[in-house]
Amino acid sequence: MTRTELLEIIANGENSGVEFKRDTLRNYNLAKELVAFSNLDGGMVLLGVEDDGTVSGLTRDRLEQWVMNACRDKIRPGIIPFFEIIKEVEPGKDVAIVRVPRSSHVHSQWHNNGHTYYIRVGTQSRESTQEELGRLFQQRGMIRAETQPVSGTTINDLDRRRLKDYFGRVRQQEVPGDGDDAGWLNLLINTEILTEEGITLAGILLFGITPNRYLPQAGIDAVAYQGTEKEYEAKERKQLRGAMTPLMDPSGTLLEAGLVEQAVSFVRRNTPVHSYLEDGARRVDTPTYPEEVIRETIVNALIHRDYLLSGTDIELAIYEDRLEVISPGKLPNGITPERMRLGTRAARNNLLKDFMRDYRYLEHMGMGVPRKIIKGMKEHNGSDPELIEENERFTVRLFSTKNP
């Protein structure tokens, strides 16, 4: 980094990726800042700079060795930062840059024989909450949130009718009898629907009698607006609740809708059907949005959302000119909207994906976004769906007509 580049960074002040410190700080305080950066998106500590941006310079002897020792002794697992000293940032005053990238591990500060996990929030490094810590481990693939037990649940919170339908009709396997408690326990534990501590997150989402009793974030908030903007008055508002999976009879006739069917029905009754005569004789009805596209968009939201973001539902919003489905949480495992368009495969909740694939909601090759959503809308009305990631939310936006 050049002196000019460094002065520009200092002039811009502290932010989510930059922290100013004197080099007289304690080693555990340096560790705290580097841990927070490593656990977020990376960042740098500028040693020899005051909080107000004044360059005070370096005073500590053997500073590089001290920094490296702090990163080894006060951080778990240890890290090796980039270290650089910029000379004469101001006359007679040097500044050290200690920079770390976003880590593939979750790091903690090790001090007084205890671990403390920090995250960067704006210009502050603060201790993470249990929910935030769980999300950090999940983002790095170190825990599978969907297989964790949901506190307070028991096997009695599962809809036995849906379980019989799934194992009997969908998977075509023998189902334990109603009085065979040992058989049901063995089956549900081995399919990761149940643990000895309770129903798994995936299990309660897929087959729970009332999932929202334990997971308030398990539903879809649907609203249909009159115009092109959010308004207090709406054509319909509805909280879609219940299990993800449908309940069918043995012949495959729908008895109770799951969340996917509920959402598709909401879109169907709140979007117009356009009719025209083909060859001047036969009437053809065309929906505003193809049902296959709506289904794929909803299924993707249910499978890939971050369920560790509590109290935040998926949002389904219908406007006069577009439809939006908003999922809580960032995209998982380094996926970007651009990579999704190309068919890159990655899932935050693989167990949910596997179960929903059994119901034939998903293609086995995992190409739903490019093949069903993007291609489907282009063939339907020539529009190009938008995929947007911002502020811990991922939005799929479909247009009722061809994009301007």
Q: Which domains does the chain have, with CATH numbers?
A: 3-128 (3.30.950.30), 146-210 (no CATH), 213-399 (3.30.565.60)
The predicted pLDDT at position 333 comes to 67
For 288, counting Cβ atoms within 10 Å of its Cβ (0-12 exposed, 13-18 middle, 19+ buried), the class is: buried
Cα(205)–Cα(352) distance, integer angstroms:
9
| 288 in Cβ contact with 304 (< 8 Å) | no
Give CA torsion, residues 394, 397, 403, 404, to 10 deg.
-70
Cα(27)–Cα(45) distance, integer angstroms:
13
The predicted pLDDT at position 346 comes to 67
- Alpha-carbon distance values, 324 to 108, 122, 238 (Å): 38, 28, 15
Helical H runs in 208-360?
A: 211-214, 259-269, 291-304, 337-341, 350-358
Q: Please name which of 361, 323, 330 lies closest in space to residue 222, comparing C-alpha atoms.
A: 323
Cα(148)–Cα(154) distance, integer angstroms:
13
Q: Please name which of 234, 200, 254, 242 lies closest in space to residue 218, comparing C-alpha atoms.
A: 242
Cis amide linkage into residue 332, ω under 30° from 0:
no
The predicted pLDDT at position 364 comes to 57
CB atoms inside a 10 Å sphere around CB 19:
25
pLDDT tens digits, the chain, 404 residues: what are they?
Answer: 999 999 999 999 999 999 999 999 999 999 999 999 999 899 999 999 999 999 999 999 999 999 999 999 999 999 999 999 999 999 999 999 999 999 888 999 999 989 999 999 999 999 998 878 887 887 776 667 888 899 999 999 999 999 999 999 999 999 999 889 999 999 999 999 999 999 999 999 999 999 999 999 899 999 999 999 988 889 999 999 999 999 999 888 999 999 999 999 999 999 998 877 666 667 778 899 999 999 999 999 999 888 888 778 999 999 999 999 999 988 876 788 888 888 776 677 889 999 999 999 986 556 788 889 999 999 999 999 999 998 889 999 999 998 76
The predicted pLDDT at position 404 comes to 61
Cα(228)–Cα(318) distance, integer angstroms:
9
The predicted pLDDT at position 66 comes to 96
The predicted pLDDT at position 267 comes to 97
Instruction: Identify how many contiguous H helices and E strands the chain contains and give both numbers.
Output: 14, 21
Q: Please name which of 358, 355, 308, 346 lies closest in space to residue 203, comparing C-alpha atoms.
A: 355
Which one-letter amino acid corresponds to residue 388? I
Helical H runs in 191-333?
A: 201-207, 211-214, 259-269, 291-304
The predicted pLDDT at position 133 comes to 85
The predicted pLDDT at position 96 comes to 97
Cα(21)–Cα(30) distance, integer angstroms:
9
The predicted pLDDT at position 366 comes to 61
